[in-house]
């Protein structure tokens, strides 16, 4: 889910940080620049280490030193095929939306929800739809009571919209993960709880 | 550089010299404009981390669940990651456990990604393992091998934390949560 990435960048340290030790100051500036931002390699979660900082030249007309910094960050980037435990966030007629707390743009579109299923208006929540899986005449509801295991199908980085759409219904998501719950062992954890005893049947199918 | 013909246009706030725009167009962006327009060289993958390693990193910096949160040098985003990881099996693992596990997994000829998945998810039954293994029948991983892997998981990886079930009907859900707890503890 996470990996390390090495980057090199030119960093300007504002003058009011100069009373701090250099490493701390550079780290603060890097955090402001990179933390919680989506790069082409994924979502930057944390600054892991600063390998080197060179330079420290003050450009004319500027009061702040500029350093060339080589550093390592922890990036959230799941690989395709990774199984992740997430929580249910909301659902609508297009599918489900799951969240990890720090990352909320995980979508499970309707074709990747196990069939046969049906979508009905949620009796507890006026605006939401509820998805129900029908298997062997038993109904399994998808809601926020348990962790939901899903497998990553695709990660996309939609380009930044240059113009504001007329109906700004959805906030722009720079990184979108598409997942599937249509496989053995995926979906809410409670679905598979009693399955350890039915091992033979599972292997036969 | 274009010479401005009249003084009025030089002082116009919206006037941008054309040469500046052209210069921007030719510069190659390595990132989307959401970050910056500086060119940044990088090595995208300098090592994959298991959930445990990230949790260990945050712990070593002083993340915790109690009121010292405000004092520790950890950002809000890092705390969200910490909260998430504390609900996964990563919070009960140690470095020796996962190195031991990945060494012993060599017998089963699993892909690195699958070992990572198993460490992060800690499957407790064949069904959970099925979503992780890719084409087990084609690679000769039969039922016996799957059971072997599960035995290894149970022996080496500690059981995951008991995640409280949330739900609209709280009474019913807590009962199911207790059943989940007993199933996990076995």
Reading chain B (186 residues) residue by residue, the pLDDT tens digits are 444 344 444 444 444 444 443 333 333 333 433 344 455 667 777 788 888 888 888 888 877 776 666 777 788 888 888 888 888 888 888 888 888 888 888 877 788 888 888 888 888 888 888 888 877 777 777 777 788 888 888 888 777 776 655 543 333 333 444 444 444 444
Question: Under DSSP, is residue B5 helix (H, G, I), strand (E, B) or coil?
Answer: coil
> Cβ contact (<8 Å) for B57 and A202?
no
Q: Which residues of chain A does B143 touch, with a Cβ-Cβ cutoff of 8 Å?
A: 199, 203
A-B contacts (CB, under 8 Å): 160
Domain ranges of chain B: 13-92, 101-156
Largest CA distance in chain A: 76
Q: Is A171 on the interface with B (CB under 8 A)?
A: no
Chain A residue nearest residue B30, CA to CA = A40
Chain B CB contacts of A174 below 8 Å: 32, 34
Separation between Cα atoms, residue A29 and residue A45, nearest integer Å: 15
What residues in B contact A155, CB-CB < 8 Å? none
> How far A10 CA sits from the closest chain B CA (Å)?
8
ipTM above 0.95, yes or no: no
Cα-trace Rg, chain A: 23
User: What is the per-residue pLDDT for B68?
Assistant: 67
Listing DSSP states for A34-75 in one string gives HTT-EETTEEEEEEEEEEEEEEEEEPTT-SSEEEEEEEEEEE
CB nearest to A45's CB, from B47, B78, B125: B78
Cβ count near A26 (within 10 Å): 20
Q: Are A75 and B43 in contact (CB under 8 A)?
A: no
A46 to chain B: nearest residue by CA? B78
- Residues of chain A numbered 63-122 and touching chain B (CB < 8 Å): 72, 74, 76, 79, 81-85, 100-102
Q: pTM value?
A: 0.73
Nearest to A102 among B42, B84, B120 (CB): B84
Q: Which residues of B touch A161 (CB under 8 A)?
A: none
In chain B, what residues touch A145 (CB-CB under 8 Å)?
165-167, 173, 176
DSSP string, A6-41: EEEEEEE--GGGTTS-HHHHHHHHHHHHHTT-EETT
- The answer to whether A97 touches A87, Cβ cutoff 8 Å, is no
């Amino acid at each position: 889910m996470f990996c390390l990435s090495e980057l090199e960048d030119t960093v300007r340290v504002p003058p009011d940080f100069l009373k701090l030790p250099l490493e701390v100051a550079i780290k603060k500036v890097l955090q402001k620049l990179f933390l919680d931002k989506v790069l082409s390699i994924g979502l930057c979660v944390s600054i892991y280490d600063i390998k080197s900082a060179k330079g420290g030249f003050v450009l004319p007309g500027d009061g702040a030193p500029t350093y060339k910094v080589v550093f390592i960050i922890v990036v959230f980037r799941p690989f395709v095929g990774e199984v992740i435990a997430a929580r249910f966030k909301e659902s609508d007629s297009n599918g489900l939306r799951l969240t990890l707390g720090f990352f909320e743009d995980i979508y499970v579109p309707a074709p990747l929800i196990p069939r046969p299923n049906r979508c009905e208006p949620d009796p507890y929540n006026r605006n939401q739809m509820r998805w129900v899986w029908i298997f062997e005449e038993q109904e399994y509801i998808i809601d926020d009571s348990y962790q939901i295991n899903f497998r990553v199908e695709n990660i996309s980085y939609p380009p930044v919209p240059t113009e504001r759409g007329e109906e700004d219904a959805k906030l722009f998501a720079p990184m979108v993960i598409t997942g599937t719950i249509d496989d053995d062992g995926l979906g809410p954890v409670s679905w598979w709880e009693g399955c350890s005893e039915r091992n033979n049947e599972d292997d036969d199918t | 550089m274009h010479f401005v013909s009249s003084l009025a246009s030089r002082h116009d706030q919206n006037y941008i010299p054309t040469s500046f725009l052209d210069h921007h167009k030719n510069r190659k962006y390595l990132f989307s404009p959401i970050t910056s327009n500086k060119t940044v060289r990088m090595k995208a993958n300098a090592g994959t981390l298991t959930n445990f390693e990230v949790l260990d990193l945050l712990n070593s910096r002083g993340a915790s669940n109690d009121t010292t949160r405000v004092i520790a040098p950890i950002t809000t985003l890092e705390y969200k990651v910490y909260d998430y990881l504390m609900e996964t099996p990563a919070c009960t693992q140690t470095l020796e456990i996962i190195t031991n596990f990945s060494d012993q997994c060599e017998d089963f000829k699993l892909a690195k990604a699958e070992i990572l998945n198993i460490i992060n998810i800690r499957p407790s039954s064949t069904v959970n393992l099925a979503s992780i293994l890719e084409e087990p029948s084609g690679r000769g991983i039969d039922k016996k091998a799957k059971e072997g892997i599960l035995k290894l998981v149970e022996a080496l990886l500690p059981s995951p934390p008991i995640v409280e079930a949330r739900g609209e009907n709280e009474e019913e859900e807590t009962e199911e949560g207790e059943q989940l707890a007993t199933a996990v503890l076995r």
